[in-house]
Amino acid sequence: MDYRNNILKDIENAEKIYIAGHINPDGDAVGSVLALALYFVRLGKKPCVLLENIPERFKFFYGTQLWYNGDYDDIAPDIFFAVDCGDKKRLGKAGEIFDRSKMTYCIDHHATNTGFADIDIINAKASSASEIVYELLKENGFDAEKDIEIAADIYAGIVFDTGGFRHNCTGRRTHEIAGALVEGGVDTSTIHSRVLFEHTLPQAKLFGAALNNMKHKDGVSYTSLTTKEIEGCGCTSEDLDGIVDFLLNLDVSDCAVLVTQRSENTAKASVRSKQFPIADIIVALGGGGHKLAAGVTCEGSADAVADMIVKKIIEGKNNG
């Protein structure tokens, strides 16, 4: 089925178009959502973007003016696009709007996607949702040189989810798409710097706190942070990027786990692996993600959740 033509047909007469990504949006969620929204603008539409708490570091992306920050109660879309989201619950407040939509799409690359939309465009082999958005747009007039803002958002999303083309989700097609975007004129130096390497002083302090709490057991490097520790560094949950990847890149690590307290009795875990497939373990706990990168929110303290997940990973490795 040619989903590209379907999308164009479906939005042709739609007036109320809403596009959302997952809660706590990362660079791929922001880039893919904004790129799709800007493309619809070019087609003469007026889409609204629903992204909860866009991190400050991603506000240089193009299209943030399309972000809707009003009341959700009376929104009833003609069509709703859930992008880079593997489960309706991950839409947060936007999930209520999803339920009121006349038609729904899901554009995603998570293998654990639950297939919750009317039309699901899922490619678990893609590096990112941004890569899928590129594929959907390229046959319908998208030209990187002419649509440089869209191109920049797609490139930034790909750079984020591939870790600068380092992660194993990076395939030949990923490089081909990146090459086309570079040829179109995207500012690769600025994007790489701001997406991957630019950090604030409070983030540096948080990184230090995470490393101070680090433990290592049977090939798993892990750490946890309480709400007090995060806030004490002048940070929020938006400032955690890079910590779990640093743990994974230690020469003694097969897997890495970062757990942070999110409320009095809930904690969120980000889990990474070099080879051991951790997705099934995380899905069984109610989370989702990819074979080697996944996340879940569990009841309990950050320390208790970290110990529980590490125990399950070690058991899985030993039984595998």
**Residue entry with tokens 């989370």:** 287
Give pLDDT tens digits for 201-247: 999 999 999 999 999 999 999 999 999 999 999 998 888 988 999 99
Task: Check whether 46 has a pLDDT greater than 90.
Answer: yes
**For position 22, what pLDDT does the model report?**
94
Give pLDDT tens digits for 271-320: 999 999 999 999 999 998 888 999 999 999 999 999 999 999 999 999 86
Q: Tell me the domain boundaries of the chain.
A: 3-196, 201-319
Amino acid at 257: V
Region 201-319: CATH code: 3.10.310.30
Instruction: Give the integer Cα–Cα distance in Å for 91 and 104.
Output: 13
Q: Which residue has the higher pLDDT, 55 or 45?
A: 45
- pTM for this entry: 0.86
At 1, the pLDDT band (50, 70, 90 cuts) reads very low
Mean of the per-residue pLDDT values of the chain: 94
Rounded to an integer, the average pLDDT of 27-49 is 97
**For position 4, what pLDDT does the model report?**
58
Exposure class string for 239-274: b at 16+ Cβ within 10 A, else e: bbbbbbbbbbeeeebbbbbbbbbbeeeebbbbbbbe
At 69, the pLDDT band (50, 70, 90 cuts) reads confident
Q: Answer positive or negative: Cα dihedral of 71, 73, 74, 78.
A: positive
267 close to 260: Cβ distance less than 8 angstroms? yes
Instruction: Give the integer Cα–Cα distance in Å for 156 and 30.
Output: 9
Residues 6+ apart with CB under 8 A from 245: 163, 256, 272
Give pLDDT tens digits for 73-127: 989 999 999 999 999 999 999 999 999 999 999 999 998 898 999 999 999 999 9
**CATH fold label, 3-196:** inorganic pyrophosphatase (n-terminal core) (3.90.1640)
* Residues above pLDDT 90, as percent of the chain: 83
The reply to whether 201-319 shares the fold of 3-196 is no
State the number of CA atoms in the 13 A half-sphere of 82 facing the CB. 35
